[in-house]
């Protein structure tokens, strides 16, 4: 960690890609505000202009970008350029509900991570909490993993489990899992960046 004018300088710029409320974004921002943080959130991208997380980013003075780039090669090229221009070392998908192209993943190989609301490799894709209820699982949780071209199949960075009680439903399970997501996602970011 270098010092500049007596202040600690963040080692790494990260970008967070969102589609909605940005609750994981908030936990990442809070972690970044710690005095000795290894990273700072330099860019928040959303594929939706209505995403509540954009207001959150603006509140903390973070640069925002609205682009549904997954449907356009020209837009994707522009986003890649912006990410590189901002010297982003890690892209964190936090409720980003779009599939990245193979080209985008290849452009940032080993530098894109995602959080998934299940104990991977169990329940890849959507509707994870419904599957937990249907199968009467006694445990569920969340997983932070590297993004590869195969959905929810990249190398696991961190995962944490939570107990499912007999009276739990998909809403109560979602709340439990979200609580641990907020804890482990910032930890996973630090873990990945520590190896850079």
Residues in the chain: 196
CB 137, CB 169: distance < 8 Å: no
CB 168, CB 157: distance < 8 Å: no
**Catalytic residue of the set 116, 129, 145, 182:** 116
Cα–Cα dist 3/33, whole Å: 16
Q: Is 182 a catalytic residue?
A: no
CB 3, CB 79: distance < 8 Å: no
> Which residue, 151, 152, 135, 134, is CA-closest to 143?
152
Q: Which residues are catalytic?
A: 116
């Amino acid at each position: 960690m270098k010092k500049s004018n007596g202040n600690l300088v963040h080692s790494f710029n990260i970008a967070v890609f969102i589609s909605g409320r940005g609750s994981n974004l908030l936990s990442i921002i809070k972690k970044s505000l710690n005095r000795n943080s290894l990273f700072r959130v330099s860019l928040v991208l959303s594929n939706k202009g209505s995403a509540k997380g954009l207001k959150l980013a603006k509140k903390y003075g973070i640069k925002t970008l609205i682009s549904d780039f997954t449907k356009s090669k020209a837009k994707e090229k522009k986003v890649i350029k912006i990410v590189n221009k901002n010297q982003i070392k890690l892209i964190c998908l936090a409720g980003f509900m779009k599939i990245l192209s193979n080209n985008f993943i290849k452009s940032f190989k080993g530098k894109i991570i995602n959080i998934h609301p299940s104990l991977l490799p169990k329940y890849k894709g959507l509707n994870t909490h419904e599957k937990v209820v249907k199968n009467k699982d006694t445990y569920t949780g969340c997983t932070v993993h590297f993004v590869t071209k195969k959905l929810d199949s990249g190398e696991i960075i961190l995962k944490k489990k939570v107990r499912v009680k007999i009276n739990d439903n998909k809403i109560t399970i979602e709340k439990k899992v979200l609580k641990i997501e907020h804890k482990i996602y910032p930890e996973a970011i630090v873990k990945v960046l520590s190896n850079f």
